[in-house]
Amino acid sequence: MTESQMKFEVMLEQYPDIACYWDFETMKAKIKTSEGLPLSRGELIMVDFFLSVWFGRNVNFDLIRAAGYLSNDNKRIITNWFMDPFWP
């Protein structure tokens, strides 16, 4: 695993209900979108963030919606990544 992939896994491990949608043995996301997932609104926003980082492109992640809805802990994950971005 690359350093970026390990950083992503550590970041994602904080969200076990979301982490289950990634397979780090094969380095694949099991999903392409958050649509239809049985998660809370905040978790769905975080899924969109994680997918966007994973694929290196925006996957329905809305920064304004995230800023207005997420807890400070969730916002911190996003801002820490924004200050030191990496792509697995």
| pLDDT tens digits, one per residue of 52-73 | 999 999 999 999 999 999 999 9
Residue 53 covered by a domain: yes
Residue 88 covered by a domain: no
Count: domains in the chain: 1
Residue indicated by tokens 């491990």: 13
**DSSP 8-state code for residue 51:** H
Provide the 10 A C-beta neighbour count for residue 51: 22
- Local structure of 48: helix, strand or coil: helix
This prediction has a pTM of 0.95
Integer Cα distance of 41 and 37 in angstroms: 10
In the chain (88 residues long), the average pLDDT of successive 10-residue segments reads 95 97 94 96 98 97 97 97 96
Residue 10 covered by a domain: yes
Which residues span the domain enclosing 25?
Answer: 3-83
Residue 13 covered by a domain: yes
Residue 61 covered by a domain: yes
Residue 9 covered by a domain: yes
